[in-house]
């Protein structure tokens, strides 16, 4: 059998330990499939003595991950340290400079420095692989770079953060408010002690930045993605959406428009009976649309030791087989700087108003919308007690600028008791 692919593993948290466990469990099978053994030469982490539930005795230890990346007995560095700068960036940079392949699960690193790292890897003739950085165990990067390589991708859309999907589905299922469900997610380990990265939409947007680069031949541009989290999603909106046949999801959407590449992460209403609408718990789902293939749907666990380690091993097997390709599916220098339109494409919107219950109030709202060129698809007043009447409206397709103009006028009415809520209805 050919010489082994020798690994330096930087980071021994949940994912790093999962990689070791997978190699120790299925090493012979993996070697058969890869055509050569895949062996760990050395490991590195912040604490040498922490019990990680795996046997590290066969591996050399390096306190410094950069020193690990420079070892002569390392052909490939697996970087699962995390963070967009610091040791993670230094380790990946040192590995590439030394002519070593890099496999990473670090979306934050790639969302910020992916272009530079990809160019460096291509110049050095080494692989930079990151299947594990997007949607956990779902092979969406491979699907875009290989399976759909003959297609012009028209849209990428999906739920790419399991924490947010868990919170939204639990709010609907239990009737509990956002803060209560978030606390439960933290107790279960689905949300971090500081959940802002997840619930603020940043994690999902970083993943979308990477998929957009592959799908549309665009330079990685995290700053060009419009980001909105789920912190302001109200239980009432989840319940009202369900009554009208919708569910609220934190969606990642990227698509080409005449004005440029539209890329956004935001809460949206989707039909309850659609694949995205039926998605429960911490599961991720990505929809890819191509001009020849049509639509394909990929679904599975988006995080965790097993799924993420599985994605890393898939990349390791490819490199062991000698498969080296540009990180984003085409030469990094050919990735285009794309225009990012200031406005999103037209869509229907769900609107919720808290209005004074008095004659003529609904007419004033309808006239304000009509004056802005917005037509109403359906309207409903919720049964209530007291002087405040909740009113729900779903519009026909409209430009967001026109809607904002109408909402600004309505907010100024003396009968408007709270700021209106507007949530996009995404076509699925």
Q: Which residues are catalytic?
A: 207
Which residue carries 């690990």 as its tokens? 68
| DSSP secondary structure code for residue 334 in this structure | G
User: Is residue 354 exposed (0-12), middle (13-18) or buried (19+ Cβ within 10 Å)?
Assistant: middle
CA atoms within 13 A on the CB side of 228: 14
The encoded tokens of residue 152 equal 């012009």
Backbone angles phi, psi at 62, to 5 degrees: -125, 125
Q: How far apart are CA 326 and CA 120, in angstroms?
A: 11
Q: Is the dihedral of CA 400, 401, 406, 412 positive or negative?
A: positive
Q: How far apart are CA 139 and CA 428, in angstroms?
A: 21
Helix axes 400-411, 361-371, angle to 10 degrees: 150
**C-beta separation of 54 from 20 below 8 A:** yes
266 has which bridge partners?
251
Contacts (Cβ under 8 Å, ≥6 apart) of 55:
24
Q: How far apart are CA 119 and CA 217, in angstroms?
A: 14
**C-beta separation of 74 from 126 below 8 A:** no
Three-state DSSP at 290 gives strand
């Amino acid at each position: 059998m050919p010489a082994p692919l020798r690994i330096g593993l930087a980071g021994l948290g949940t994912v790093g330990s999962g990689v070791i466990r997978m190699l120790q469990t299925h090493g012979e099978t993996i070697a058969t499939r890869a055509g050569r053994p895949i062996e760990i030469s050395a490991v590195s982490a912040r604490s040498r003595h922490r019990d990680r539930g795996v046997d590290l005795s066969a591996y050399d230890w390096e306190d410094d991950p950069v020193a690990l990346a420079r070892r002569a007995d390392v052909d490939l560095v697996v970087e699962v340290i995390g963070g967009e700068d610091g040791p993670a960036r230094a380790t990946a940079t040192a590995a590439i400079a030394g002519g070593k392949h890099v496999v990473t699960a670090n979306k934050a690193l790639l969302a910020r420095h992916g272009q530079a790292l990809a160019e460096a890897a291509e110049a050095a003739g080494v692989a930079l692989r990151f299947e594990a950085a997007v949607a956990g165990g779902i092979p969406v990067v491979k699907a875009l770079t290989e399976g759909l390589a003959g297609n012009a991708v028209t849209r990428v859309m999906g739920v790419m953060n399991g924490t947010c999907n868990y919170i939204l589905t639990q709010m609907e299922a239990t009737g509990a408010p956002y803060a209560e469900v978030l606390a439960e997610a933290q107790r279960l380990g689905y949300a971090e002690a500081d959940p802002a990265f997840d619930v603020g939409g940043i994690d999902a947007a970083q993943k979308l930045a990477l998929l957009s680069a592959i799908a549309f031949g665009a330079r990685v541009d995290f700053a060009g993605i419009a980001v909105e989290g789920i912190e302001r999603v109200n239980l009432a909106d989840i319940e009202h959406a369900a009554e009208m046949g919708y569910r609220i999801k934190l969606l990642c959407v990227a698509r080409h428009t005449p004005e440029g590449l539209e890329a956004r992460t935001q809460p949206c209403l989707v039909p309850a009976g659609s694949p995205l609408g039926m998605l429960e718990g911490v599961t991720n789902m990505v929809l890819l649309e191509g001009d020849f293939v049509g639509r394909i749907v990929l679904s599975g666990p988006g995080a965790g030791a097993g799924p993420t380690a599985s994605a890393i091993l898939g990349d390791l097997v490819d490199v062991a087989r000698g498969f080296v390709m540009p990180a984003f599916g085409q030469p990094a220098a050919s990735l285009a700087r794309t225009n990012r339109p200031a406005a999103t494409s037209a869509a229907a919107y769900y609107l919720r108003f808290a209005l004074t219950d008095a004659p003529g109030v609904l007419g004033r709202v309808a006239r304000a919308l009509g004056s802005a060129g917005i037509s109403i698809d359906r309207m409903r007043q919720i049964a209530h007690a007291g002087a405040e009447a909740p009113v729900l409206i779903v519009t026909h397709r409209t430009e967001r600028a026109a809607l904002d103009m109408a909402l600004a006028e309505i907010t100024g009415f003396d009968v408007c008791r709270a700021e209106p809520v507007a949530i996009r209805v995404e076509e699925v």
